[in-house]
Amino acid sequence: MQTVPLKDLVARVDLGLTVLCGADGLDRPIRWAHVSELEDPTPYLVGQELLLTAGVRFPSDVPAYVAGLVSSGVSAIGFGVEPEFPTVPLSLVEACAAQGMPLLEVPPSTPFLAVSQALGALLAEIAVREQRMLADSQRALTRAATRVRPVESVLTTLAVVLNCRADLVDPASAPEDVATLARRVASGTGPRSASTQVGEDHVTLDPVESAVLVVRRSMPLSPAERAVVAVALALLGLLRRDLESERGQIARLAASALLRSRVTGVGNVLGPGPYRVMAGQSRADYDVLAQRYGPLVSKVEDGFLALVPAGFEVSGPVGVSAEVSESDITSAVEEASAMLARALATGSPAFPAAELSSLVDPVAARAFARRELAALLGRPELVETLRAWLGQHGSWDRAAAALGVHRNSVRHRISHVERLLGRDLGSADARASLWLALTWLD
């Protein structure tokens, strides 16, 4: 059920509420306002109320009265002055202060009905905001699920939307502080989801196929935010199933190559090894490769994979694995798929960094890096921002999440980088050049 922080109600100038004690409890949630003149209203309370009273039947034992409200989960007391009392009784102020109960003075000009109506209006505003947030989050998560490396994109978007850390972990290698709970959630014999406190973090765990989604942040999730997590869970579940299907395709590609090696030999199709795996999205590239290498080219989600000779000349945005033998084809597929994301960001072929480094003289590579990045070398925060932004394919939100800063800070820093370097980072050539420089920087 929706709640409103007590401070939001106190901030309503038209109500004229005065905080007499318990100011450190103004973040307490208020579910509704309840009027009661009973000496013991506790049987009729469910918690998180703002209890409104004018002291018509003022309790004889005030500390016990306040203690009962505290134990019932009342969030605050609002005392209406006049006609019964000209001021809030000192005994009530002292009892509330001693027991940590926020106490508000309600002026004669503010009927209890006005307080209830104001609370209702605030609750309605929150409901509208949360519905809008939920709709916006659904759109953002759905868009993320259509990007390259969609699982990572959904996790990054979820982290930005909820201002949290979101990780999809294997229960067998989950972080130590949640490992036991992660295994229980994933086992199917324990809770379907779980929440716990780890240090200052509120942590929720939900199963996603054979993995577990771990969400951490400083504040508990609201019901609307839990609904956002539910959307992410549904998308991640679909993506995980698609990933398993894609892995099956990858396995079939590898099996196809190995089968041909047993029947006619991969060498009869590609020539003697070593080989490379290419990952791309261009239909034209796929058609050329399929015509040339036939069964060693396979369509996968959003693109293709191909087994080619190590010396095959590549161009355009394709991910390329290191040189491999027949026995390492499957791992090469995974490597090429990872390189594709970088290739799409730069618009040029992407090779494993270690292999690129082996092709370039180390001294020349370092000199190139320091020359390209000279204007940034005294500004480590700009270097790391550029690295994160390029590594996240130019995404402001994902780079901000990776750096732990606001997206506007990333925009400002990248603009500063462009001015200092005199480079247009919208250019694929500039991005590729700077990514290599960052790779080879000391």
Helix (H, G, I), strand (E, B) or coil at 405: coil
Residue 299 has pLDDT above 80, yes or no: no
**What are the tens digits of pLDDT across the range 198-210?**
888 899 999 888 7
Q: Considering only residues 75 and 175, tell me which one the structure prediction assigns the higher pLDDT.
A: 75
Q: Quick one: pLDDT at residue 115?
A: 95
Q: Is 43 exposed, middle or buried (0-12, 13-18, 19+ CB in 10 A)?
A: exposed
Q: Which residue, 208, 221, 215, is CA-closest to 171?
A: 208
Q: Is 419 exposed, middle or buried (0-12, 13-18, 19+ CB in 10 A)?
A: exposed
**What are the tens digits of pLDDT across the range 67-104?**
999 999 999 999 999 889 999 999 999 999 999 999 99
Q: Quick one: pLDDT at residue 247?
A: 52
Residue 119 has pLDDT above 60, yes or no: yes
**What are the tens digits of pLDDT across the range 17-69?**
999 999 999 999 999 999 999 999 999 998 999 999 999 999 999 999 999 99
Q: Quick one: pLDDT at residue 429?
A: 67
Mean pLDDT of the chain: 82
Alpha carbons 359 and 380: distance in angstroms, whole number: 27
Per-residue confidence at 437, pLDDT binned at 50, 70, 90?
confident
Residue 146 has pLDDT above 70, yes or no: yes
The conformation of residue 353, written as its DSSP 8-state character, comes to H
**What are the tens digits of pLDDT across the range 231-271?**
888 888 877 766 555 555 555 555 454 444 433 445 555 66
Per-residue confidence at 361, pLDDT binned at 50, 70, 90?
low
Task: Indicate the pTM of the whole model.
Answer: 0.48
Alpha carbons 299 and 296: distance in angstroms, whole number: 10
**Least confident piece of the model among 54-58, 188-192, 317-321, 341-345:** 188-192
Q: Quick one: pLDDT at residue 263?
A: 37
- Please report the domains of the chain, with CATH numbers, ordered by start residue: 4-119 (3.40.1390.20), 145-242 (3.30.450.190), 264-351 (no CATH), 360-440 (1.10.10.2840)
Per-residue confidence at 160, pLDDT binned at 50, 70, 90?
very high
Q: Quick one: pLDDT at residue 270?
A: 61
Inter-residue contact 18 to 35 (CB < 8 Å): no
